[in-house]
Chain A
């Protein structure tokens, strides 16, 4: 039950993008089209879950060896390797998606959402199972925010909006309104 709560709270209540301000860069960058948003979400979910599991295990090793101060660099190494793998894999399997994601794919490496997730798992003293579900929730939450936002932006392209709101300014305002909507979930789950 606790695991399920962690999962739901990571998706809705503590949504990484809209409530924690993490991972804004790809959120704004890859949300022009729904299909690239879906591809990006899948890549992020994959990296988040694997990175969380590996960093959780490695943290145990680090603590055992008394090297807790190496956390950040070790975690970044893990994340960078995984992202590189996703890049190699996507280039082979889906060149179209690879082209569409462009610079944002390698940018997952320095995405604060992923490092933030790995550090939060440690900070909250989660066990392995809780870590996996927190990562899944965070990944799906990121995907949910990204795909919702991409859908809105696709619709906005056809809408008749005043000139000052066109382009990036309007996008940021839309993101703010979406975040406001997610505030409605806060306080729903108390952990």
Chain B
């Protein structure tokens, strides 16, 4: 009985909080530039910081703002990341 009770209780709580968070996420959704996600995908995602920004996401945001050079990602240079970023930015 105690097993079933635990499972039911935790399951119910998880469901309640999950639903609440899902609604909150929808209600307070932040519209982000669709290019941000594409650039993030193109980047190696190692968060090395060699570009001078704290992590790949900060670099991607700076590229969109035009603050960072498109070929600023050092580890991604050989894999053709700058070209991909140029392509995304010119869309």
Q: Does A107 contact B (CB under 8 A)?
A: no
Q: How far is the CA of A70 from the CA of B7 in the complex (A)?
A: 11
**Are A88 and B24 in touch, CB under 8 angstroms?**
yes
- Residues A61 and B9 in contact in the complex (CB < 8 Å), given A77-B17, A81-B17: yes
Contact (Cβ within 8 A) B29 A92: yes
**Bound Cα distance A67, B17 (Å):** 19
| CB-defined contacts of A161 to chain B, threshold 8 Å | none
| CB atoms of A85 and B6 under 8 A apart | no
24 A-B pairs with CB atoms under 8 Å apart are A58-B13, A62-B9, A65-B9, A66-B5, A67-B5, A67-B6, A70-B6, A70-B9, A73-B10, A74-B9, A74-B10, A74-B13, A77-B10, A78-B13, A78-B17, A81-B20, A81-B21, A85-B24, A88-B21, A88-B25, A89-B28, A91-B30, A92-B29, A95-B30
Contact with A along B2-17 (1 / 0, CB 8 A): 1001100110011001
Q: How many of B's residues come within 8 Å of A, CB to CB?
A: 15
A84: interface (CB < 8 Å): yes
* Contacts between chains A and B (CB distance < 8 A), count: 44
Q: Is the interface of A mostly helix, strand, loop or mixed?
A: helix
Contacts of B29 in A (CB 8 A): 92
Q: Is the CB of B21 within 8 A of A84?
A: yes
**Smallest CB–CB gap between A43 and chain B, Å?**
15
B37 CB to closest chain A CB (Å) equals: 16
